[in-house]
């Protein structure tokens, strides 16, 4: 097998600045899913992974360990192709025996479990019976049916327990100009039944990702677990929560730390940490001096510290998140991870407050680290393959996470906090995985733009033979600052593509996360030059391998990956065909497409028009000559559908073979099962036309929608 080369890991970087000793980790990318999990059972190689099989796999969400460490609850989703929707149930695992049982009813979705302080009850979100929106429910480990806690017409979510176990907090999106829940419900009913569909805005934002926004604001409430009327905590405080509402409750129950936007312009954002009395009242801005983002507040279990993640570059979502501590007694504040050139978000506190456990995007792998308090000394806990969504018992002795890789869907594991050894707990997908012939994969380093090292994941077809020559499908990730880690993708699954007969690769080009802030920010304001050169250099690396057919190469990606694909379309490249999903085609029209789109590091187009012209793919349309499959969803407001239409029509006007795959009921991603299966079938047949490889046995939804 090919040499497994190691990307620049955090421990090597930190060693140079004297913060920790080096630890010799090695990515063994060619290991099978069985070996990655430390099992001894032989692999049963039968058939490659298909999109249909992938959709049959159960999907696990963030686990939650009980305070005493005895149990773990995790939400498990199962997809129903006939109903074209998933159903999610809560499963309870005994951490000692590994035994598991279902907690919630079949046929209704239950998500986001939260343990009570005494570990006897679990809150969760569900929409049942006559619920008009998701509500908070509670179930006891002692048995019985779940009871409904909230009756809020606008919906309730993101619940947390108060320390007394008698009350909970939750978030709801409400109108602030009406009183009482009945009026809230009536407002919703009137809007839904109105014959007038017009809406009016006097300030931004008007829409975000896949939703049009309205006048409602996100606010925090408290309610007794045995029912009653919710009490508003942030209404009238002068602030509103951001998004779904990020907050934490102090261990003594007297204070709540929450994230609110201090910028009122509507076109920029400045998340700050506010402190609010639990009884309500005036909120105090803890981070008023920082014009950049402050997010994810978490109190230490002993109440001494409040931790949060701080950025330094205003408006730049990919700026490094630095772990910052506030001593609640003295008010002293310190940022403790300056020597760790990685982002730190949402730490799990040990009982004594002397360390935290965090998941870190580190050079192509999501790993768990322990960070000492307050020195900031970081020690890796896990090595090869991804370990994310960690949860820990109060005493810190029980640590669980979701382990995954390119050949392993998220799997619940228990991790030894000292040596990082993982013990598998969930077996939901074992039978299906035993019947899959996964290809192998590895991490390589190649010289990219300016000769700088670029890490790349290479996935090989089942039965790969280096004496043969294979076509290449080079995948381009989105973001642009979202680095690809050793995880199982439900969209753009490299093992599905490799099962069609291709070597498939993800390269972490300049701008990717996980390789230090300078590397992430290196493509701003020029989005084009370095990633384009890294992509071309990747193809040169592959062409130097005797097992790649340099005349049969394709590239494609979504979002920023679609943008870079469209950019490549107008420049010199070696690809026989391209696939552009949700591609930014015209930077000018993308500039203010939704709330998030205005937060760019390349500035305003009227201040630097030449920069916009250099990086906008549509300016190079005169060079378009490569057959291209274009994919877009109507409800995509992050990259609106006009980009896909304009790119398709331009290629048509130039006489270049092109195909437009359009989804009227999808957004930035293709999320519905049957739509996704159509996506994979269309991509498979398009690639087969130019690279060879297998063709789809069937195309869902055809022939009516498949006219060329």
Single pTM value for the model? 0.92
Beta strands in 652-692 (DSSP E): 658-663
Alpha-carbon torsion, ordered 265, 270, 272, 276, to 10 deg: 20
pLDDT in tens, 6-17: 345 555 434 323
Write down the pLDDT at residue 130. 79
Residues 532 and 448: their CA atoms lie apart, in Å, by 10
Per-residue burial over 668-684, b if 16 or more Cβ lie within 10 Å, else e, is: bbbbbbebbbbbbbbbb
Report whether pLDDT(230) > 80: yes
- Phi first, then psi, for residue 705 (nearest 5°) are -105, 15
User: Given a cut of 50, is residue 166 above it in pLDDT?
Assistant: yes
231-256 burial, b at 16+ Cβ within 10 Å, e below that, comes to: eebbbebebbbbeebbbbbbbeeebb
pLDDT at 586 over 90: yes
Q: At what angle do helices 560-569 and 529-543 cross, to 10 degrees?
A: 70
Q: Tell me: the pLDDT tens digits for 274-296? A: 999 998 889 999 999 999 999 99
Tell me which long-range contacts 149-153 makes (C-beta under 8 A, separation of at least 24). Answer: 149/123, 149/223, 149/225, 149/227, 150/223, 150/230, 151/181, 152/181, 152/184, 152/221, 152/230, 153/181, 153/182, 153/184, 153/185, 153/188
Read off the pLDDT of residues 633-691 as tens digits, 9 standing for 90 and up.
999 999 999 999 999 999 999 999 999 999 999 999 999 999 999 999 999 999 999 99
Q: 312, 294 in Cβ contact below 8 A? A: no
Whether 452 has a pLDDT exceeding 60, the answer reads yes
Higher pLDDT, 203 or 488: 488
**pLDDT computed for residue 13 by the predictor:** 39
Peptide bond into 175 cis (omega under 30): no
pLDDT tops 70 at residue 28 = no
Domains and CATH numbers, the chain: 59-185+205-417 (2.140.10.30)
Note if the bond before 374 is cis, omega within 30 degrees: yes
Give percent of the chain above pLDDT 90. 79
Nearest to 299 by CA among 273, 270, 272, 322: 273
**Which band of pLDDT confidence, cut at 50, 70 and 90, is reported for residue 237?**
confident
DSSP symbol at 5: P
Angstrom distance (rounded) from CA 36 to CA 79: 26
For the segment 82-94, the average pLDDT, to the nearest whole number, is 94
Long-range contact set of residues 226-231: C-beta below 8 Å, sequence gap at least 24: 227/149, 230/150, 230/152, 230/170, 230/172, 230/181, 231/280
Indicate if the alpha-carbon torsion angle 628, 465, 52, 428 is positive or negative: negative
Angstrom distance (rounded) from CA 405 to CA 15? 27
- Residue length of the chain: 708
SS (H, E, C) 490-537: CCCCHHHHHHCCCEEEEECCCCCCCCCHHHHHHHCCCCCHHHHHHHHH
In tens, the pLDDT along 377-405 reads 999 999 999 999 999 999 999 999 999 99
Give the pLDDT confidence score for residue 25 in this predicted structure: 32
The whole-number pLDDT of residue 41 equals 42
Which pLDDT score, from 0 to 100, does residue 474 have? 98
Task: From residue 355, give the alpha-carbon distance in Å to each of 70, 251, 383.
Answer: 22, 17, 19
């Amino acid at each position: 097998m090919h040499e497994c080369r190691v990307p620049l890991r955090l421990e090597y970087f930190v060693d140079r600045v004297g913060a920790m000793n080096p630890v010799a980790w090695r990515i063994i990318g060619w290991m099978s899913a069985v070996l990655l999990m430390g099992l001894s059972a032989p692999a049963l190689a039968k058939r490659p992974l298909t999109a249909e099989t992938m959709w049959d796999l159960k999907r696990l969400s963030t686990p939650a360990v009980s305070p005493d460490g005895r149990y773990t609850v995790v939400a498990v989703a199962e997809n129903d192709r006939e109903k074209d929707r998933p159903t999610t149930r809560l499963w309870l695992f005994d951490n000692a025996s590994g035994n598991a049982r279902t907690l919630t009813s079949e046929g209704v979705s239950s998500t986001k479990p939260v343990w009570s302080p005494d570990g006897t009850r679990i809150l969760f979100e569900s929409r049942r019976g006559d619920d008009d929106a998701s509500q908070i429910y509670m179930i006891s480990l002692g048995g019985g049916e779940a009871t409904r806690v909230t009756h809020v017409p606008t919906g309730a979510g993101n619940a947390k327990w108060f320390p007394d176990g008698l009350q909970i907090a939750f978030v709801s999106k409400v109108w602030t100009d009406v009183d009482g829940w009945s009026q809230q419900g009536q407002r919703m009913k009137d809007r839904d039944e109105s014959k007038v569909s017009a809406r009016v805005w006097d300030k931004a934002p008007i829409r975000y990702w896949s939703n049009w926004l309205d006048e409602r604001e996100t606010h925090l409430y408290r309610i007794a677990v045995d029912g009653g009327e919710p009490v508003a905590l942030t209404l009238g405080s002068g602030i509103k929560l951001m998004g779904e509402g990020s907050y934490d409750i102090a261990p003594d129950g007297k204070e709540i730390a929450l994230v609110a936007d201090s910028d009122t312009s509507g076109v920029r954002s400045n998340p700050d940490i506010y402190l609010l009395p639990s009884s309500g009242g005036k909120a105090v801005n803890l981070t008023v001096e920082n014009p950049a983002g402050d997010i994810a507040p978490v109190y230490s279990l002993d109440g001494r510290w409040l931790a949060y993640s701080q950025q330094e570059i205003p408006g730049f979502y990919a700026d490094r998140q630095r772990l910052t501590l506030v001593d609640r007694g003295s008010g002293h504040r310190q940022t403790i991870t300056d020597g760790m050139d990685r982002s730190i978000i949402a730490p799990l506190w040990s009982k004594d407050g002397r360390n935290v456990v965090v998941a870190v995007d580190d050079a192509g792998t999501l790993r768990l680290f322990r960070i000492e308090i307050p020195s900031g000394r970081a020690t890796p806990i896990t090595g090869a393959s991804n370990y994310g969504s960690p949860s820990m018992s109060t005493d810190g002795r029980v640590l669980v996470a979701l382990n995954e890789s390119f050949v392993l869907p998220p799997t619940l594991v228990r991790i030894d906090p000292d040596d990082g050894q993982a013990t598998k707990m969930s077996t939901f997908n074992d039978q299906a995985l035993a019947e899959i012939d996964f290809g192998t994969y590895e991490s390589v380093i190649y010289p990219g733009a300016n000769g700088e090292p670029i890490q790349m994941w290479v996935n090989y077809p089942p039965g790969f033979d280096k004496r043969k020559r294979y076509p290449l499908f080079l995948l381009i990730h989105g973001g642009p600052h979202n680095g690809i880690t050793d995880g199982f993708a439900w969209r753009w699954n490299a093992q599905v593509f490799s099962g069609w007969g291709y070597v498939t690769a993800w390269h972490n080009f300049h701008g990717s996360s996980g390789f230090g802030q300078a590397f992430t920010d290196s493509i701003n304001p020029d989005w084009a030059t370095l990633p384009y050169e890294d992509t071309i250099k990747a193809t040169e690396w592959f062409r130097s391998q005797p097992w790649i057919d340099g005349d049969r190469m394709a590239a494609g990606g979504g979002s920023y990956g679609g943008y870079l694909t469209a950019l490549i379309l107008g420049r010199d490249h070696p690809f026989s065909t391209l696939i552009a999903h949700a591609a930014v085609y015209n930077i000018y029209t993308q500039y203010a497409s939704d709330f998030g789109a205005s937060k760019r590091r390349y500035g305003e187009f009227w201040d630097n028009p030449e920069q916009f012209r250099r990086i906008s793919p549509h300016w190079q349309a005169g060079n378009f000559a490569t057959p291209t499959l274009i994919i877009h969803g109507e409800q995509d407001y992050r990259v609106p559908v006009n980009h896909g239409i304009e790119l398709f029509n331009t290629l048509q006007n130039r006489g270049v073979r092109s195909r437009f795959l359009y989804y009227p009921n999808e957004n930035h991603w293709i999320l519905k099962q049957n739509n996704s299966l159509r996506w994979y079938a269309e991509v498979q047949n398009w690639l087969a036309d130019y690279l060879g490889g297998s063709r789809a046995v069937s195309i869902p939804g055809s022939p009516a929608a498949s006219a060329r």
